[in-house]
Amino acid sequence: MAEAKLRHYSLRIDLGMRSGEIAGLRVADIDWRAGTVTLKGTKSLRQDILPLPMETGQALADYLQHERPVSTSNSVFVMHRGDHDRRMTAGAVRGVIGSAYWRIGLTHTRSHALRHAFACRLVENGSSLKEVADLLRHRSLNSTLIYAKLDTPKLAAVALPWPGSAA
């Protein structure tokens, strides 16, 4: 079960997926050959195709082959209640991530912080805000600006003086 919890975290930090998107992920949504994940019924009510990093794909494949409980559900992540199983809910995904935070001693337990970390990592590695917005599936760059908070001290160190100001 601990490994399954790491899969939720990996999908959030490596792909910027929302809890509902993780919960709704079906085995058929993963194209192993193309290295993509298709998200259906997202917050934006559209279908999106995301690149699947090799490490994340390997972790998912390992989970599906060796750790996922036997289930008739086509969901990647399932919950067992008594003698039946069902797909994972968004609330359960948030709970799993929150529990992982608690186990490592973090007091901030909002699972959405991983989407913020994903956006910041993309910006720090040179991605444009448009690229980050596309990967987060935002309709507005203003939403992305909230997620991709820039490192102001680093920016100040490379900023050029304002034209006409005392250098």
Catalytic residues: 18, 43, 112, 115, 138, 147
| Total Cβ atoms within 10 A of residue 52 | 20
Comparing C-alpha atoms, which of 149, 160, 90 is closest to residue 79? 90
- Which residue shows structure tokens 């959405």? 112
CA distance linking residue 78 with residue 85, whole number of Å: 7
Find out whether 144 and 116 touch, Cβ atoms under 8 Å.
no
Cross-strand pairs, 87: 78
